[in-house]
Structure 1
Amino acid sequence: MKKNERGDKLLVIGIPALSLFCCDKIATKAIPEAIERRAALEELGFYLSKEKLIGHQGEIYDSYFVLKEENLKS
């Protein structure tokens, strides 16, 4: 699968979620070692969140990329 096809698949999954779940942003995990995934996300308008996600029992999660509705690239 070519890189641009992977990016297209991310959009096919992610973009409908914005309206389906009535949200203004979506997030996906991309660890530092996932260089190609992170690059594809950035090309699609995602950015690395500086905020940490906190789980229900206080777990801390990082390495999330966020796409806000107003940052959608066509």
Structure 2
Amino acid sequence: MNFFDDIRKVRIESLLSQEAFAKEIGVSFVTINRRETGKTRPSYQTIKTICEFCQSHNIEFDENKYLQSEEKTNESGEK
């Protein structure tokens, strides 16, 4: 599973619409929609925020899988 699938799974497990989930984590509906469809990559901060949301709602989310991947991308200078 990739980030796009996992973020959708988290949202569905929390029984939230894209709009409600976006509001919960402090981003726009468009941001969530683009993340779920794979049109954009999440920032390090967005991943951290989603991880915090999952922890507070007892939803399993492999934070290390995505944070390590994002850190490697940032170190190489890619976007």
> Would you call these one fold, judging by a TM-score over 0.5?
no
Q: Decide which structure has greater strand share.
A: 1
Which of the pair has more CA radius of gyration? 1
* RCO comparison, higher one (Cα < 8 Å, 6+): 1
**TM-score normalised to structure 2 length:** 0.29
